[in-house]
């Protein structure tokens, strides 16, 4: 007789009734700031742990050294000295020994009595003193084990599991054995001797008191290969983070979870789990999250889509936009599992293995309110790699590390994007699956199973002349039919028009000649060409745009290195070791090399930039950014109004607080951009992250791509912003920017994008979420919505108003500047379905509606009858 899934789940949960709960269930603990740094990668080929190091190092501000960890899935049997069959079939049981003498007792009383042991292993910590770690990392010992047949038989008989799948029974025996080990050696008393790090198949977890990159170094994982990795820095939220047991990741069965954020309903979820005889032991919300995941996925057997829905329920307008059959299913899931849904700001990364198919998986899920930053990325060439992380700059750091060693990768992803939590569009989750049986293919899908993939007909870049390894080779190019002695403007225009006909070899040859420049004129020309290739979205033919950008970035680094070696009157190079100096003449350009500067602090790049500008520099180029934060902060303090061009992958808080400066970012930017900006100008040739323009008071901003969640919230005064793409949700919430026609502020949202062939396209909707202009009391939003897609229910405090001729005259200069910057012609914006239309048929105006929360208090009271 085969046990049905519903009956199996009930029997498995019933078997846990004999598990002894902790003496006291954990109570909800006080909230604290949660700003963890997380990164995950999944690759079609094994990747060494060292490729996480720089990414984690650049996100150290998101931790405090109180807890770091890694998980690796899709392991190499050679790393443990076992056969491929042993790795596939055995449970990998890893134990952290806080008291090294406890191993013999633990092995005798639990491992030896429950399992057949096929191999043992250990990870001995090294170099903890050198890294300045206050709490010694634990010795890790482990074993590859199989459940003894007699143990399985006794468990089946005791719990009426005859006919149940043997692997499901074995999973539960392993789960309950781990629980008993932890209650005996870690959680039952104040004495902490040992705890289980991981127990799944093809999965290893290591963690300690420290940072995530410390874990890689201490346990010697630099050359340790795996298909899937997650790394984590912990900042305290709930739990005993000062102890290794409180660090992330936490385990379910064959998966490990890390998260950024914290829950408001921690105690409620603990109660939900206790009703099912599941008891957390480590007093942290991350642990209960993975216990809920394990309950839904392994015990109840839900497909991933349903697990994601139970964790991050689809609500409000997004729920109504679902197909009827999904609404019915999702409503049932929410009815049963809402009490187990984490409520609060969170972003989960889950690394797991599937013992049945041997597939590896990286899953990223964001909460419904999208209150924690997250970004995903995908690169597909001869091999493929996918990422999910707290910050784009962390992804770029990992890709740069990978590309420097492996010719099958390059330093730029094909696609970067954000998830919309609990949405009808992507479900707020993306899954990277590595198929290890046969194809070795990496596949990326959203919550609903829709595939995300780059353009199939564009070729990945090849290593030509060593451009991934160092400077470009000054080799003669293949014919490009493009003379380099043209005036700069004509050269840029010709190159952009003809780029689709280039090969990578031809482009490299052209750039190699350009970056040999040593005169001021030639260097300005080279800089203009490289900048145009980074900034402008044009057709690239058979080349991937990511390959063009990677090649251009290397060319820029070569040009900058030449300026450092051979100064010319118009350019001055400075790095982290050089003190601030004055320009020799007003037009001289300062090239400030970011590499070597710490991401933040007294000796940071941001401080050096201010120091140089105080000495009189009005034109600054910042190159090689790698997660450097606060660039531009402080430029308003002394009336400094330079133009600063930023290249590379900058970090958070760029342009925050500027008052008069002009900052141009020739890439995507990150979170907390242009906060409390007072005046000046910001231009971003890419996307921007969370809370862009928070509490901005003035200035102008032009964004080529999308904004993530909560742009321009609490803005006041007169900020004026153009976003050519869209944003996730909560655009201009609590906007208080006065009357746009009397000097107040506004946002223009165009809802357009460039596809992978470099063509301008109209989005399905200019704004996919709700809470558009919610609680706004001033300003306006002008949305390009020629098909009337936006609905009243999306506004939540705003109201549609007719677009007047006066409105068009107000926003036209900003659209014309947008055209000059990005090449998005006003005429193209006014063209709909091939026909040019008047502005009032293309743009819609949204103004504050005026509602109870914004009225004077006396207006709330009805007059007495």
Taking the C-alpha atoms of residue 561 and residue 765, their distance in angstroms, rounded to an integer, is 44
Instruction: Give span(s): CATH 3.60.20.10, the chain.
Output: 5-446
Taking the C-alpha atoms of residue 629 and residue 61, their distance in angstroms, rounded to an integer, is 10
pLDDT at position 637 is 75
Q: Two tokens at 688?
A: 């921007």
Per DSSP, the residues of 399-432 read HHHHHHH-TT--SS-SEEE---TT-SSSTTEEEE
pLDDT at position 478 is 54
- 591: phi then psi, degrees, rounded to nearest 5: -105, 105
Per DSSP, the residues of 261-279 read E--S-HHHHHHHHHTTT--
How is the beta sheet containing 68-75 ordered, strand by strand?
A: 203-208, 68-75, 225-233, 37-48, 384-389, 375-380, 415-417
Q: What is the mean pLDDT of residues 609-614?
A: 96
CA angle 810, 811, 812 (to 5 degrees): 100
The two beta strands, 589-593 and 571-574, are parallel
Q: What is the mean pLDDT of residues 617-630?
A: 97
Question: In the predicted model, is pLDDT for residue 860 greater than 70?
Answer: no
- 758: phi then psi, degrees, rounded to nearest 5: 80, 20
Least confident of 9-18, 426-435, 718-727, 743-752: 9-18
pLDDT at position 670 is 93
Question: In the predicted model, is pLDDT for residue 241 greater than 50?
Answer: no
- CB under 8 Å to 97, separation ≥6 — which residues? 103, 138, 139, 140, 141, 193, 194
- 43: phi then psi, degrees, rounded to nearest 5: -130, 150
Give the DSSP H or E segment for 645: strand 643-649
- 263: phi then psi, degrees, rounded to nearest 5: -110, 145
Residue of 634, 572, 636 whose CA lies nearest to 600 = 634
- Confidence bin at 577 (pLDDT 50/70/90): confident
Least confident of 76-80, 147-151, 220-224, 236-240: 236-240
Residue of 71, 28, 70, 73 whose CA lies nearest to 46 = 73
Least confident of 55-59, 572-576, 834-838: 55-59
Q: Two tokens at 759?
A: 């063509």
The share of the chain scoring above pLDDT 70, in percent, equals 92
Reported as a single tens digit per residue, the pLDDT across 374-393 is: 999 999 999 999 999 999 99
| Partners of residue 350 on adjacent β-strands | 257, 363
pLDDT at position 192 is 87
Question: In the predicted model, is pLDDT for residue 613 greater than 80?
Answer: yes
Residue 778 · residue 736 · CB < 8 Å: yes
4 vs 762, which has greater pLDDT? 762
Question: In the predicted model, is pLDDT for residue 225 greater than 90?
Answer: yes
- Confidence bin at 468 (pLDDT 50/70/90): very low
Taking the C-alpha atoms of residue 683 and residue 670, their distance in angstroms, rounded to an integer, is 13
pLDDT at position 796 is 81
CA angle 528, 529, 531 (to 5 degrees): 65
Q: Two tokens at 303?
A: 């497909």
Question: In the predicted model, is pLDDT for residue 469 greater than 50?
Answer: no
- 147: phi then psi, degrees, rounded to nearest 5: -65, 130
Taking the C-alpha atoms of residue 233 and residue 57, their distance in angstroms, rounded to an integer, is 10
- Confidence bin at 480 (pLDDT 50/70/90): low
Taking the C-alpha atoms of residue 760 and residue 538, their distance in angstroms, rounded to an integer, is 9
Residue of 363, 389, 361 whose CA lies nearest to 377 = 389
Taking the C-alpha atoms of residue 338 and residue 64, their distance in angstroms, rounded to an integer, is 33
Taking the C-alpha atoms of residue 316 and residue 819, their distance in angstroms, rounded to an integer, is 36
pLDDT at position 345 is 87
CB half-sphere exposure, 206, CA atoms < 13 A: 27
The per-residue b/e assignment along 274-285, b for 16 or more CB within 10 angstroms, e otherwise, is: eebebbbbbbbb
Residue range 5-446 in CATH 3.60.20.10: yes
Question: In the predicted model, is pLDDT for residue 691 greater than 80?
Answer: yes
pLDDT at position 857 is 44
Give the DSSP H or E segment for 746: strand 746-749
- Confidence bin at 188 (pLDDT 50/70/90): low
- Confidence bin at 308 (pLDDT 50/70/90): very high
Residue 696 · residue 711 · CB < 8 Å: no
Residue of 582, 625, 586, 633 whose CA lies nearest to 609 = 633
Taking the C-alpha atoms of residue 781 and residue 735, their distance in angstroms, rounded to an integer, is 10
Question: In the predicted model, is pLDDT for residue 563 greater than 90?
Answer: yes
Question: In the predicted model, is pLDDT for residue 247 greater than 90?
Answer: no
- Confidence bin at 67 (pLDDT 50/70/90): confident
> Which ranges constitute the DSSP H helices of 536-615?
545-565, 605-614
Residue 144 · residue 94 · CB < 8 Å: no
pLDDT at position 464 is 41
Q: Two tokens at 25?
A: 């269930």
The count of other CB atoms within 10 Å of the CB of residue 742 is 7
How is the beta sheet containing 442-446 ordered, strand by strand?
A: 250-251, 255-261, 346-354, 359-366, 429-434, 442-446
CA angle 162, 166, 172 (to 5 degrees): 95
Taking the C-alpha atoms of residue 151 and residue 755, their distance in angstroms, rounded to an integer, is 58
27 vs 117, which has greater pLDDT? 117
Least confident of 128-142, 450-464, 466-480: 466-480
pLDDT at position 295 is 97
Question: In the predicted model, is pLDDT for residue 702 greater than 70?
Answer: yes
3-state secondary structure of 42: strand
pLDDT at position 462 is 74
- 400: phi then psi, degrees, rounded to nearest 5: -65, -45
Q: Two tokens at 246?
A: 């409180």
- What is the pLDDT of the chain when averaged over all its residues? 91
pLDDT at position 862 is 43
pLDDT at position 369 is 83
Rg, the chain, Cα only: 28
From residue 862, alpha-carbon distances to 18, 218, 858, 865 in Å are: 61, 69, 9, 9
- CB under 8 Å to 560, separation ≥6 — which residues? 573, 591, 593, 623, 624
Give the DSSP H or E segment for 12: helix 5-15
Question: In the predicted model, is pLDDT for residue 27 greater than 80?
Answer: no
pLDDT at position 35 is 65
pLDDT at position 473 is 54
Reported as a single tens digit per residue, the pLDDT across 344-377 is: 889 999 999 999 999 999 999 999 888 888 999 9
Taking the C-alpha atoms of residue 474 and residue 465, their distance in angstroms, rounded to an integer, is 9
From residue 332, alpha-carbon distances to 296, 310, 328 in Å are: 14, 10, 6
CA–chain centroid gap for 208, Å, is 23
Give the DSSP H or E segment for 288: helix 285-294
- Confidence bin at 477 (pLDDT 50/70/90): low
Which residue matches tokens 């060439």? 381
Taking the C-alpha atoms of residue 630 and residue 651, their distance in angstroms, rounded to an integer, is 7
Per DSSP, the residues of 366-384 read E-TT--S--EEEEEESSSE
Q: What is the mean pLDDT of residues 650-665?
A: 96
Q: Where are the beta strands (DSSP E) in 199-294?
A: 203-208, 225-233, 250-251, 255-261
């Amino acid at each position: 007789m085969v046990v049905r899934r519903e009956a199996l789940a009930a029997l498995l949960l019933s078997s846990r009734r004999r598990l002894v709960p902790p003496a006291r269930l954990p109570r909800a603990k006080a909230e604290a700031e949660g700003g963890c740094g997380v990164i995950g990668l999944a690759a079609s080929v094994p990747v060494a742990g060292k490729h996480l190091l720089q990414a984690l190092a650049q996100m150290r501000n998101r931790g405090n050294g109180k807890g770091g960890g890694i998980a690796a899935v899709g392991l190499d049997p050679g790393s443990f000295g076992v056969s491929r069959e042993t790795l596939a079939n055995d449970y990998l049981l890893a134990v952290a020994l806080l008291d090294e003498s406890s191993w013999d007792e633990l092995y005798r009383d639990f491992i030896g009595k429950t399992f057949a042991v096929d191999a043992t292993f250990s990870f001995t910590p090294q170099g903890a003193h050198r890294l300045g770690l206050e709490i010694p990392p634990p010795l890790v010992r482990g074993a590859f084990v199989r459940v003894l047949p007699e143990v399985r038989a006794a468990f089946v008989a005791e719990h009426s599991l005859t006919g149940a799948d043997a692997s499901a029974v074995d999973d539960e025996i392993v789960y309950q054995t781990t629980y008993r080990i932890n209650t005996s050696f870690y959680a039952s008393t104040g004495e902490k001797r040992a705890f289980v790090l991981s127990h799944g198949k093809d999965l290893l977890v290591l963690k300690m008191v420290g940072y995530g990159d410390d874990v890689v170094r201490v346990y010697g994982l630099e050359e340790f290969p795996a298909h899937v990795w997650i790394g984590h820095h912990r900042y305290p939220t709930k739990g005993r983070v000062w102890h290794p047991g409180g660090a992330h990741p936490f385990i379910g069965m064959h998966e490990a979870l890390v998260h950024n954020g914290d829950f408001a309903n921690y105690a409620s979820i603990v109660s939900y789990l206790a009703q099912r005889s599941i008891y957390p032991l480590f007093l942290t919300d991350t642990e209960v999250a993975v216990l809920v995941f394990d309950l839904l996925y392994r015990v109840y057997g839900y497909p991933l889509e349903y697990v994601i829905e139970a964790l991050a329920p689809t609500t409000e307008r997004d729920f109504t936009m679902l197909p009827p059959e999904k609404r019915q299913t999702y409503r049932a899931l929410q009815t049963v599992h809402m009490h187990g849904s984490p409520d609060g700001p969170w972003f989960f990364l889950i690394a797991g293995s599937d013992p049945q198919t041997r597939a590896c998986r990286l899953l990223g899920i964001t909460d419904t309110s999208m209150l924690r930053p997250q970004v995903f990325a995908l690169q597909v060439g001869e091999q493929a790699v996918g990422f999910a992380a707290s910050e784009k700059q962390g992804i770029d750091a990992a890709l740069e590390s990978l590309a420097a060693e492996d010719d099958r990768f390059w330093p730029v992803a094909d696609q970067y994007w954000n998830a919309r939590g609990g949405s009808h569009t992507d479900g707020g989750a993306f899954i990277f699956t590595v198929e290890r049986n046969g194809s070795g293919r990496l596949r990326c899908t959203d919550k609903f199973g829709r595939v995300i993939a780059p353009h199939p007909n564009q070729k990945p870049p090849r290593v030509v002349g060593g451009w991934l390894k160092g400077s470009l080779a000054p080799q003669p190019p293949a014919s490009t039919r493009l003379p380099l002695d043209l005036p700069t403007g004509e050269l840029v225009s010709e190159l952009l028009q003809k780029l689709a006909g280039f090969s990578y070899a031809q482009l490299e040859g052209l750039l190699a000649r350009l970056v040999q420049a040593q005169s001021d004129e030639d260097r300005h020309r080279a800089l203009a060409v490289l900048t145009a290739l980074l900034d402008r979205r044009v057709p690239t033919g058979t080349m991937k745009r990511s390959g063009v950008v990677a090649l251009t970035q290397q060319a820029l680094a070569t040009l900058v290195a030449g300026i450092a070696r051979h100064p010319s009157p118009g350019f001055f190079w400075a790095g982290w070791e050089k003190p601030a100096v004055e320009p020799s003449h007003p037009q001289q350009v300062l090239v400030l090399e970011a590499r070597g500067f710490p991401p933040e602090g007294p000796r940071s790049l941001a401080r050096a930039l201010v120091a140089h500008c105080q000495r009189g520099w009005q034109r600054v180029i910042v190159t090689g950014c790698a997660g450097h934060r606060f660039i531009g902060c402080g430029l308003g303090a002394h009336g400094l109004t330079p133009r600063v061009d930023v290249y590379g992958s900058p970090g958070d808080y760029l342009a925050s607080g500027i008052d008069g400066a002009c900052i141009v970012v020739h890439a995507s930017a990150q979170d907390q951009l242009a906060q409390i900006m007072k005046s000046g100008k910001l231009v971003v040739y890419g996307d921007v992250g969370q809370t862009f323009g928070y509490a901005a008071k003035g200035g102008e901003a032009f964004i080529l791509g999308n904004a993530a969640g909560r742009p321009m919230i609490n803005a006041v005064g007169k900020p004026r912003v153009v976003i050519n793409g869209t944003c996730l949700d909560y655009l201009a919430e609590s906007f208080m920017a006065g009357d746009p026609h009397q000097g107040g502020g506004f946002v223009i949202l165009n809802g357009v994008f460039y596809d992978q062939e470099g063509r301008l396209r109209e989005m399905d909707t200019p704004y996919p979420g709700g809470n558009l202009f919610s609680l706004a009391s001033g300003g306006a939003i002008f949305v390009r919505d020629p098909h009337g897609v936006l609905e009243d229910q999306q506004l939540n405090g705003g109201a549609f108003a007719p677009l007047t001729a006066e409105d068009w005259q107000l926003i036209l200069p900003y659209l014309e500047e947008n055209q000059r910057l990005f090449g998005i012609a006003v005429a193209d914006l006014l063209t709909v379905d091939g026909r040019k239309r008047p502005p009032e048929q293309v743009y819609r105006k949204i103004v504050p509606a005026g509602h109870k929360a914004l009225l004077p208090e006396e207006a709330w009271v009805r007059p007495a009858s």
